[in-house]
Structure 1
Amino acid sequence: MQFDWHYALQLLWDKDFWRACVVVVKLSVSAWLLGVLLGFPVALARQSHHAALKRVAAVYIWFFRSLPLLVLLVFIYNLPQVFPATSAVLSDPFTAGLIAMVLSETAYFAEIHRGGILSVPRGQLEAGRALGIRFTGIQRMIVMPQAIRIALPALANEFITIVKLTSLVSVISLAEILLVGQRLYTQNFLVFETMLAVAFYYVLIVTVFSRLLAYLERHLDVSRRTPAQAGPASVALPQSAPAVAPRPRANAEFALRIKGVQQRYGRHEVLKDIHLDVAPGQVVSIIGPSGSGKTSLIRTINGLAPVNAGEIDLYGAPFIRAAGSHPPRVPHDRILDIGMVFQSFNLFPHRTALQNVMMAPCYHRQADTDAIRLQALALLSKVGMLEHANKYPHQLSGGQQQRVAIARALATRPSIMLFDEPTSALDPELVGEVLKVVETLAKEGMTMIIVTHEMNFAFKVSDRIVFMENGRILYDVPPERIRGSADARVKDFLRHVHFA
């Protein structure tokens, strides 16, 4: 039997094949997009702390990954025989095929998304919570963009799988590429030539969309982007930018009161009966050896860490109450009173410095976008980062990233600032530029609680020094009393810390 080249080449212009290609593209793209969108909430449910929700998601993923697509297609297409009311929808092979593929692929996409979600650093979620962003906002603005970028190669690979799986939909009489080919070779018996054309069309579709998805992957890769120059608004900043100051607060004796706070993990007590009062405008530095509970204490203040006993008041009003082993529910409108700067910066890597600073005010709709942009530029100018406004975090040094983080924390106009060892992750030559910004805030009267090992800085800017050891506050005194303390524990600690 000779190969019929003339017939095979004719099939490349066959209208039925090209119409079938359109059907395959529509079905593949629709199934892929719906699977990507629906897979994300299933992945979140799979990661949920609610046992029932987690179990339902796990069962869904297990069932539809176990069920062959061919069986699912036949079942859904024949469902109107059991439920006649569904015939209006499921009698159409395209719709029935799409529903079957989405049900099946959502389970696979959920696991792909789960891998992406687990790859997003936990600090990103904590940064969002510290800015008062709710769960859905954190997922939409912080987690999802990063998770999709991480998972995009796997998502693209799944699209190719979907294109090939559309051939199975021919069993319910959808006129896709394989069915068109089968109809032809049953008439002329030129099986090899016809299937060669079928293969060509599938390869063509996969090649085109592989290129498109590769372009999308490059576009989402911020490491490939070059920083843009400062825009006109930053040039006009000195004349047009509004002043950025904390919102006025009701008069209260204490900005912050911590009363009897305890924290434990299992049998290990991290914080033991902590009492601390901070008046408006005071700067309190928390020092002590590693493992003494400094960071744990500062993280309880804005609800990032659980409080097993005790309470925290903000400007005389209840703020945080004990919530067992889970992080407490924090009033989102009042969390804006507290800004936090993290040890590891926790800038959002998919956003520029300017976008990082603008995110929380835009989310909380504190003003119109233009006013928020000018305010963000003013804050970047305040921390000496205006010329780097359009750079991404990976394009900045550690000291520059921390200064942007300070500007981001100030963007919601908090009245209290928390600093969790803001210089410990920096090279020694970069420490000074961050401490200078913090010192400026202290001079402006910002209420601050600072966890630090920079002793000269702490003694210089602090009204009080809190010394902690083994989860307890041993001293809460003016700086000069700590420096001159005769306590062997304090003297031993001061010998080993940084006084430069």
Structure 2
Amino acid sequence: MQFDWSYFVSLFSMRAFWDACLVVIELSALSWFIGMVLGFFLASAKLSKNRLLSAPAAVYIWFFRSVPLLVLVVFVYNAPQMFPASGSLLQNPFYSGLIALVVTESAYMAEIHRGGLISVLKGQKEAGRALGIGTVGIERLIVIPQAFRIALPTLINEYITVVKLTSLISVISLTEILTVGQRLYAQNFLVMETLLAVAVYYVLIVTVFGQLLQWLENYLDLSKRKPQSLNETATAALRKTLDAQVPVVRNAQPAATPALQLNNIHKCYGEHQVLKGIDLQVKSGEVISIIGPSGSGKTSLIRTINGLEAIDQGNILLFGEGFIEPHDKPNNAQIRRGVRRIGMVFQNFNLFPHRNILDNITLAQRYHGSQKRLSEQRAYQLLDKVGLLAHAGKYPHQISGGQQQRVAIARALAMEPDIMLFDEPTSALDPELVGEVLGVIRNLANEGMTMVIVTHEMDFAMSISDRVIFMEDGKVQLDAAPQVIRQDAAGERVRRFMGIGAEVRHEPAAMNG
């Protein structure tokens, strides 16, 4: 028998097929969207540290990824035999098919979402916590948008799979594309012509909706966006507007009250003790640099000050008030209040890649209730302060590492902190970019900002600091002014670590640049 081309072509003007296409579109779109939403909650539950959430989610995902969809479709459609009350709903093939698809797809999409969620760097959450953003806010504003962008290509592919899986619903007599085709070739026996038309209809749906979703993926792909820089005229006009604004002035704290006080701080990671009874006081306006060999506990210490790591013993006071106690959780209300008074600049910048420079700086301000106009005004002032006003519309990947770190400093300053913490702010930078970041920090020191700086830039530490803390083996081995380190016998170990020769002790001016 020859292929009947005229019959094949006539199938594309048949209303029953186009009605069936609409059913497939409705069924696939609803299944994909609902499965995507439920899958996200399943993924979040599976990643939870609470076993009451993670265990049931893991079992659900394992089970429904194992059960064939065809078996599940037939079971759901016949479920009224076991649960008569469900008959009014489940005897409708569309709703039975929808439920079966959603149950299956939510399990598959949970793993897609889990891949997206675990791909978001830990530093992103830490940056949110350092800005005083709560757990829900971090997920909503920082983690989910990034995870969705990462997972989107796979989610789009899963939609195409769902469209094809709708053909299985034909076993319960849902009038979708394959069902219409089966009824036709059962009457006229033109199997090849009919199935080829069925395939074309599926290809048409996949192509149209695949292209729409591909457009969404391209739209959200930040790497394809052109850098948005202000020209000199626009920058000058904006700077003129900013100059007319009243500058923000931080409230000075009483000089008699230490800005920061650490009492007998201990910290362990399992059996390894990294901090062994640290005592430290930082006065308002002081600049403290923390130096020492790798593994001495410098980074752990500065992370405990900002609540990013819990302490096992001791306590931390902020301007004479209780701030951090042993085993406090990061979302503790007292810690979050204190964190808003402390700016944190990370070694790897931890800017939010899905937001432009302006949004990076205003995000926390707006989360904490600042008006959009005021937060943007403050952001522009700070960008001008760090020399990046023209780059406000760019994304982090569109600027250099040194510029990213300056944006990170501006983001921390936007919270109007009383204390600034710097964790190796130049270690991730190329040597030629170090100077621009250190220049911004030096300007903050000249303005009287209280700062604690973990650094390996020894000359910088000696020239900018009121005191230098030398840590080794989890302890403070020396807490002294730069002059003492240069000249006194007590500073001999530190001089050897810094590679300062003995002759420098007689020429302190040479170290002051």
Match in the other structure for 2:46: 46
Separation in structure 2 between the aligned mates of residue 435 and residue 468 of structure 1, nearest angstrom = 22
Match in the other structure for 2:80: 80
The answer as to 2:401 corresponding to 1:398 is yes
Contact 2:124 2:350 in 1 (8 A): yes
Match in the other structure for 2:238: 234
Contact 1:379 1:410 in 2 (8 A): yes
> Aligned ranges for residues 367-386 of structure 1 at < 5 Å?
367-386=370-389
CA shift, 1:291, in A, is: 1.3
Match in the other structure for 2:299: 295
Separation in structure 1 between the aligned mates of residue 289 and residue 39 of structure 2, nearest angstrom = 46
Contact 1:270 1:293 in 2 (8 A): yes
Match in the other structure for 1:469: 472
> Aligned ranges for residues 39-438 of structure 1 at < 5 Å?
39-230=39-230, 234=238, 236-246=240-250, 253-323=257-327, 329=332, 331-365=335-369, 367-438=370-441
Separation in structure 2 between the aligned mates of residue 245 and residue 198 of structure 1, nearest angstrom = 70
Give the direction of change, closer, same or farther, for the CA distance of 1:12–1:248 in structure 2 (3 Å limit). Answer: farther
CA shift, 1:484, in A, is: 2.2
Give the direction of change, closer, same or farther, for the CA distance of 1:82–1:351 in structure 2 (3 Å limit). Answer: same
TM-score (structure 1 length as normaliser): 0.94
Counterpart amino acid of 2:389?
L
TM-score (structure 2 length as normaliser): 0.92
CA shift, 1:328, in A, is: 7.4
Counterpart amino acid of 1:449?
V
Match of 2:288, SS state, is strand
CA shift, 1:379, in A, is: 1.0
Give the direction of change, closer, same or farther, for the CA distance of 1:71–1:249 in structure 2 (3 Å limit). Answer: farther
The range that moved more, 218-227 or 453-462, is 453-462
CA shift, 1:258, in A, is: 0.8
Gaps of 5+ in 1: none
Query: Any idea what the Cα deviations from partners look like across 1:281-328, whole Å, max 9, x if unmatched?
Result: 21111111111111110000111112111111112221111118x767
The answer as to 2:20 corresponding to 1:20 is yes
Query: Any idea what the Cα deviations from partners look like across 1:132-186, whole Å, max 9, x if unmatched?
Result: 1122221222122222222222111111111110111122222111111112112
CA shift, 1:2, in A, is: 2.2
Separation in structure 2 between the aligned mates of residue 5 and residue 445 of structure 1, nearest angstrom = 85
Contact 1:241 1:375 in 2 (8 A): no
Counterpart amino acid of 1:455?
M
Contact 1:72 1:100 in 2 (8 A): yes
Give the direction of change, closer, same or farther, for the CA distance of 1:70–1:488 in structure 2 (3 Å limit). Answer: same
Separation in structure 2 between the aligned mates of residue 180 and residue 251 of structure 1, nearest angstrom = 83
Match of 1:132, SS state, is coil
Separation in structure 2 between the aligned mates of residue 224 and residue 484 of structure 1, nearest angstrom = 56
Contact 2:135 2:331 in 1 (8 A): no
Separation in structure 1 between the aligned mates of residue 262 and residue 377 of structure 2, nearest angstrom = 36
After superposition, the CA RMSD in angstroms is 2.1
Give the direction of change, closer, same or farther, for the CA distance of 1:262–1:90 in structure 2 (3 Å limit). Answer: same
Give the direction of change, closer, same or farther, for the CA distance of 1:29–1:389 in structure 2 (3 Å limit). Answer: same
Contact 1:242 1:375 in 2 (8 A): no
Separation in structure 2 between the aligned mates of residue 334 and residue 241 of structure 1, nearest angstrom = 28
Separation in structure 1 between the aligned mates of residue 63 and residue 357 of structure 2, nearest angstrom = 44
Matched length: 497
Separation in structure 2 between the aligned mates of residue 244 and residue 19 of structure 1, nearest angstrom = 64
Contact 1:307 1:327 in 2 (8 A): no
Query: Any idea what the Cα deviations from partners look like across 1:319-369, whole Å, max 9, x if unmatched?
Result: 111118x7674632331111100011111111111110011111111x211
Separation in structure 2 between the aligned mates of residue 134 and residue 176 of structure 1, nearest angstrom = 47
Match of 1:331, SS state, is helix
Separation in structure 2 between the aligned mates of residue 27 and residue 36 of structure 1, nearest angstrom = 14
CA shift, 1:236, in A, is: 4.9
Separation in structure 2 between the aligned mates of residue 385 and residue 237 of structure 1, nearest angstrom = 16
Separation in structure 1 between the aligned mates of residue 251 and residue 170 of structure 2, nearest angstrom = 65
CA shift, 1:244, in A, is: 3.1
Give the direction of change, closer, same or farther, for the CA distance of 1:251–1:12 in structure 2 (3 Å limit). Answer: farther
Query: Any idea what the Cα deviations from partners look like across 1:352-391, whole Å, max 9, x if unmatched?
Result: 11110011111111x2111111111111111111011111
Give the direction of change, closer, same or farther, for the CA distance of 1:84–1:247 in structure 2 (3 Å limit). Answer: farther
Counterpart amino acid of 1:383?
V
- Identity, % of aligned pairs? 58
> Aligned ranges for residues 449-468 of structure 1 at < 5 Å?
449-468=452-471
Counterpart amino acid of 1:283?
V
Contact 1:109 1:155 in 2 (8 A): yes
Give the direction of change, closer, same or farther, for the CA distance of 1:13–1:483 in structure 2 (3 Å limit). Answer: farther
Match of 2:123, SS state, is helix
Give the direction of change, closer, same or farther, for the CA distance of 1:205–1:485 in structure 2 (3 Å limit). Answer: farther
Separation in structure 2 between the aligned mates of residue 419 and residue 31 of structure 1, nearest angstrom = 48
Contact 1:252 1:315 in 2 (8 A): no
Contact 1:74 1:172 in 2 (8 A): yes
Query: Any idea what the Cα deviations from partners look like across 1:409-428, whole Å, max 9, x if unmatched?
Result: 11111111100011111112
Query: Any idea what the Cα deviations from partners look like across 1:217-270, whole Å, max 9, x if unmatched?
Result: 221111111122437883553245452343566786111111111111122110
Give the direction of change, closer, same or farther, for the CA distance of 1:7–1:349 in structure 2 (3 Å limit). Answer: same
Contact 1:237 1:378 in 2 (8 A): no
Gaps of 5+ in 2: 502-510
Give the direction of change, closer, same or farther, for the CA distance of 1:350–1:496 in structure 2 (3 Å limit). Answer: farther
Contact 1:257 1:277 in 2 (8 A): yes
Separation in structure 1 between the aligned mates of residue 476 and residue 241 of structure 2, nearest angstrom = 45
CA shift, 1:90, in A, is: 2.7
Match in the other structure for 1:479: 482
The range that moved more, 137-146 or 86-95, is 86-95
Separation in structure 1 between the aligned mates of residue 11 and residue 149 of structure 2, nearest angstrom = 39
Counterpart amino acid of 2:31?
A
Counterpart amino acid of 1:349?
P
The range that moved more, 418-427 or 439-448, is 439-448
Give the direction of change, closer, same or farther, for the CA distance of 1:157–1:416 in structure 2 (3 Å limit). Answer: same
Separation in structure 2 between the aligned mates of residue 97 and residue 236 of structure 1, nearest angstrom = 63
Contact 1:244 1:379 in 2 (8 A): no
